[in-house]
Amino acid sequence: MTMPPFLRAAAGPLKLMLQDRLAVIGLCVLSFIIVMALFAPFLSTHNPRHINEIEDGSVLTRGADVWELSESLGPLALNDAESMGAVALVVGRQGTVWSREGGEWVRVDVPVEADLNAVALQPDGRALVVGAGGTVLQRTGTDWRIIDAPTPANLQGVAWIDAAAALIVGAGEEIWRFDTATGTIEEIASPVGRGFALRSVGLDSDGTLLAVGERGLAVRYDPATNEAALERLGSSRDLNHIHIAPGGAALVTGERGTLLRRDTPDAQWVTDPAPDTRALRTGWIDDAGRAVAAGRNGIIMEWDGAAWQIVPTESERHLRALLIEGDSWLALGSDRFVTRLAPPSREHWFGTDHLGRDLFSQNVHGSRIALLVGFLGAALVVLIGTNVGLIAGYYRGRTETILMRTVDVMYGIPFEPFALILVLLFQPSLLIVILAVSLLTWRTVARLIRSQVLSLRERPFVKAARVAGASDLRIMYLHIFPNVMPLVFLELAIIVGVSIIAEATLSFLGLGPPHSISWGGILHDARLSGAWRTAWWWNLPPGIFIMTTVLSVFFISRSLEVVANPRLRARQ
Partner 1 sequence: MSRRSYLIKRVLQAIFSLWIIATILFFLFRMGLPDPTAALITEGLNPEQRAAVRAQFGLEEPLWRQYVLFLTNAVQGEFGTSFSYRAPVSEIVWERLANTMILMLAAIVIAYAIGVPLGAWLSWRRGSRVDTAGIFFGLMFRSAPMFWTGMIAILVFGVMLSILPTSGMRTLPYDATGFWDKVLTLDFLWHAILPVMIVALYYLGSPLLIMRNTMLEVYGEDFIEMARAKGLRERDILYKHAARNALLPVVTQLAVTIGLAAGGQVVVEVVFSWPGLGREILNAVRTSDFPLAQASFLIMAAFVITLNLFVDILYTTLDPRVSFR
528 in contact with partner 1 (CB under 8 A):
no
* Binding segment (CB under 8 A) for partner 1, from list 206-214, 247-255, 347-355, 542-550: 542-550
* Binding segment (CB under 8 A) for partner 1, from list 58-66, 131-139, 181-189, 414-422: 414-422
Closest CA to 430 of 372, 380, 384, 365: 372
> Which of residues 418, 454, 478, 516 is near partner 1 by CB under 8 A?
418
Contacts 24+ apart (CB under 8 A), 427-435: 428/506, 428/511, 428/512, 428/513, 428/514, 429/513, 429/514, 430/372, 430/373, 430/513, 430/516, 433/373, 433/503, 433/506, 433/511, 433/512, 433/513, 434/373, 434/376, 434/377, 434/380
Q: Give dist(CA 149, CA 159) in Å, integer.
A: 16
405 in contact with partner 1 (CB under 8 A):
yes
Contact between 250 and 262 (Cβ < 8 Å): yes
- Residue 283 or 512: the one with the smaller Cβ distance to partner 1 is 512
Maximum alpha-carbon separation in the chain: 122
Q: Give dist(CA 367, CA 144) in Å, integer.
A: 56
536 in contact with partner 1 (CB under 8 A):
yes
Q: Give dist(CA 342, CA 336) in Å, integer.
A: 15
> Which of residues 112, 116, 168, 546 is near partner 1 by CB under 8 A?
546
With CB under 8 A as the rule, give the number of residues binding partner 1.
Answer: 46
Helices (H), 457-480: 460-467, 472-474
Contact between 197 and 211 (Cβ < 8 Å): no
Least distance from C-beta 435 to partner 1, angstroms?
Answer: 12
Q: Which amino acid is at 96?
A: T
Contact between 339 and 52 (Cβ < 8 Å): yes
3-state secondary structure of 127: strand
Residues in 426-465 that interact with partner 1 by CB under 8 A: 426
Convert 126-156 to b/e letters by CB count within 10 Å (16 or more is b): bbbbbbbebbbbbbeeeebeebebeeebbbb
> Which of residues 162, 304, 416, 472 is near partner 1 by CB under 8 A?
416
Least distance from C-beta 539 to partner 1, angstroms?
Answer: 5
* Binding segment (CB under 8 A) for partner 1, from list 250-258, 296-304, 378-386, 402-410: 402-410
397 in contact with partner 1 (CB under 8 A):
no
* Binding segment (CB under 8 A) for partner 1, from list 108-116, 345-353, 466-474, 531-539: 531-539
Q: Give dist(CA 408, CA 410) in Å, integer.
A: 5
Residues 6+ apart with CB under 8 A from 483: 9, 452, 456
* Binding segment (CB under 8 A) for partner 1, from list 27-35, 382-390, 477-485, 518-526: 518-526
Whole-angstrom CA distances from 54 to 255, 327, 339, 535 are 22, 30, 7, 19
359 in contact with partner 1 (CB under 8 A):
no
> Which of residues 542, 556, 563, 564 is near partner 1 by CB under 8 A?
542
Number of helical (H) and strand (E) elements in the chain, helices listed first: 14, 30
Instruction: Give the number of other CB atoms < 10 A from CB of residue 188.
Output: 17
* Binding segment (CB under 8 A) for partner 1, from list 4-12, 30-38, 309-317, 411-419: 411-419
> Which of residues 17, 153, 371, 422 is near partner 1 by CB under 8 A?
422
> Which of residues 412, 467, 468, 515 is near partner 1 by CB under 8 A?
412
Beta strand pairing status for 78-84 and 165-170?
unpaired
> Which of residues 131, 539, 559, 564 is near partner 1 by CB under 8 A?
539
239 in contact with partner 1 (CB under 8 A):
no
Least distance from C-beta 547 to partner 1, angstroms?
Answer: 4
Residues in 199-228 that interact with partner 1 by CB under 8 A: none
Least distance from C-beta 64 to partner 1, angstroms?
Answer: 24
> Which of residues 43, 420, 435, 470 is near partner 1 by CB under 8 A?
420
Q: Give dist(CA 526, CA 276) in Å, integer.
A: 27
Residues in 101-130 that interact with partner 1 by CB under 8 A: none
Q: Which amino acid is at 64?
A: A
Helices (H), 318-459: 359-395, 397-411, 415-425, 430-438, 442-456
- Residue 178 or 545: the one with the smaller Cβ distance to partner 1 is 545
- Residue 356 or 542: the one with the smaller Cβ distance to partner 1 is 542
DSSP state of 532: G
Least distance from C-beta 549 to partner 1, angstroms?
Answer: 8
Least distance from C-beta 508 to partner 1, angstroms?
Answer: 5
Residues in 253-312 that interact with partner 1 by CB under 8 A: none
527 in contact with partner 1 (CB under 8 A):
yes
- Residue 26 or 254: the one with the smaller Cβ distance to partner 1 is 26
DSSP state of 486: H
> Which of residues 224, 288, 306, 425 is near partner 1 by CB under 8 A?
425
Residues 6+ apart with CB under 8 A from 423: 432, 433, 436, 506, 511
- Residue 22 or 478: the one with the smaller Cβ distance to partner 1 is 22
> Which of residues 415, 465, 466, 516 is near partner 1 by CB under 8 A?
415
* Binding segment (CB under 8 A) for partner 1, from list 112-120, 293-301, 338-346, 544-552: 544-552
CA atoms within 13 A on the CB side of 144: 14
* Binding segment (CB under 8 A) for partner 1, from list 149-157, 234-242, 424-432, 462-470: 424-432
408 in contact with partner 1 (CB under 8 A):
yes
Residue 393: Cβ-neighbour burial (10 angstroms; 0-12, 13-18, 19+) = buried
Binding mask 464-503 for partner 1 (x = CB under 8 A): ---------------------------------x---x--
> Which of residues 261, 508, 512, 537 is near partner 1 by CB under 8 A?
508
Contact between 500 and 492 (Cβ < 8 Å): no
Contacts with partner 1, residue ranges (CB under 8 A):
405, 408-409, 411-418, 420-422, 424-426, 497, 501, 504-505, 508-509, 520, 523, 526-527, 532-534, 536, 539-540, 542-543, 546-548, 550-551, 554-555, 567-568, 570-571
